[in-house]
Amino acid sequence: MINLIKPGVLFFFLLGSLPFLNTWKLQQVNATQTQQVTVRFASKVGDTPFSCDSNYNLGKSATTTKIADFRFYISNIALIDANGKIVPLNLTQDNKWQYQNVALIDFEDKTGACTNGTTEIRNKVVGTVPKGNYRGLQFTLGVPSNLNHEDSTLAPSPLNLTSLWWNWRFGYKFARIDLKNQVVSQNPHSQQKHKDNHRNAAKSQGFPIHLGSTGCQAETSSQKPQTECSNPNRSIISFTNFNPAKNVVIADIGKLLENTDLNKNQADTPAGCMSSPDDNDCRNLMESFGIPFGSDTTVKQTFFRVE
């Protein structure tokens, strides 16, 4: 026996299905108008792939060094089309590596010297752009100002890593590259100005490089600045010839350090570089990141390249 649906019931059933049908249709339209893009990253020391287990001869003095951490945040990732237009990449919100317009790139794997890191690595950014012909790539090294001064213990992943956070005033460490170098680790003048819970960094890490904003004005370190920091220390990286299907962005620690002497540390400053404009150990590093230092007005970054 066949039970027929009364016309009135059928009407309300179809009416209730409209929101679902409209959502499904919108998703299908969006799928045909956009394309998924994966921007791949790789870590190298010169021409050698990075490993937490390896020793490297780094800097002007070719100092034998182990790399104990290698992570950085990027934001405002975009492709550049054939007409030179910058088209933002709509990041996939995966609740782990990407949040809003920020992504974490993590090359350390908690092996070897990288004991303070995490076992998982992340070497890509995933998102969508309108379908088109794209020839270039642009992104910012750093966390945007509107997200930089949040509480990392409450922030969504990947902004919830306290190891990549100074405090509310200064915000996040945009990049953390820690080097174990016994010569610098014995420097008696090393001190930590950012109070970033790494007070023994000079002893345990030798030459830590923590890139982040400085000159941030707030009454205490537990308060957010009301204006942009005087030294934002973000760098816009742009490549006019980049094909996501073929190319990889290389982050090269060898190039980053090639003009820095890891055997020296300016007296009465933290070991390595904590992004202070008063620490001359930061000069060549900042320039390699593409960030002007002191009276410099224009610099060319060398940390990233395309292969």
63 and 262 Cβ atoms separated by less than 8 Å: yes
Of the chain, the percentage scoring pLDDT greater than 70 comes to 82
The whole model's pTM is what? 0.84
Give the contacts of 103 (CB within 8 A, at least 6 positions apart): 73, 74, 75, 77, 91, 97, 125, 158
pLDDT of res. 202: 40
More confident residue, 172 or 3: 172
Q: What is the pLDDT of residues 262-282, one digit of tens each?
A: 998 888 888 999 999 999 999
**Segment among 1-10, 119-128, 176-185, 257-266 with least mean pLDDT:** 1-10
**Segment among 13-27, 51-65, 178-192 with least mean pLDDT:** 13-27
139-145: average pLDDT: 98
Q: What is the pLDDT of residues 193-236, one digit of tens each?
A: 443 443 344 444 489 999 999 999 988 877 889 899 999 999 99
Omega of the bond leading into 130 within 30 degrees of 0 (cis): no
The one-letter amino acid at 164: L
pLDDT band of residue 296 (cuts 50, 70, 90) is confident
The one-letter amino acid at 186: Q
244-257: average pLDDT: 98
* Mean of per-residue pLDDT scores for the chain: 87
Closest CA to 239 of 125, 122, 137, 130: 137
pLDDT band of residue 181 (cuts 50, 70, 90) is confident
pLDDT of res. 191: 42
Q: CA 141: distance to chain centroid? A: 6
pLDDT band of residue 6 (cuts 50, 70, 90) is low
Angle at 276 between CA 275 and CA 280, to 5 degrees: 100
CB 120: neighbour CB atoms within 10 A?
11
Does 111 have pLDDT greater than 60? yes
Does 183 have pLDDT greater than 50? yes
**Residue whose pair of structure tokens reads 């920091």 in the numeric block:** 229
159-183: average pLDDT: 90
Does 101 have pLDDT greater than 70? yes
pLDDT of res. 292: 94
Does 13 have pLDDT greater than 70? no
pLDDT of res. 190: 42
Cα–Cα distance for residue pair 71/164, rounded to 1 Å? 9
Give the contacts of 77 (CB within 8 A, at least 6 positions apart): 39, 88, 89, 91, 101, 103, 125, 127, 137, 138, 139
More confident residue, 138 or 1: 138
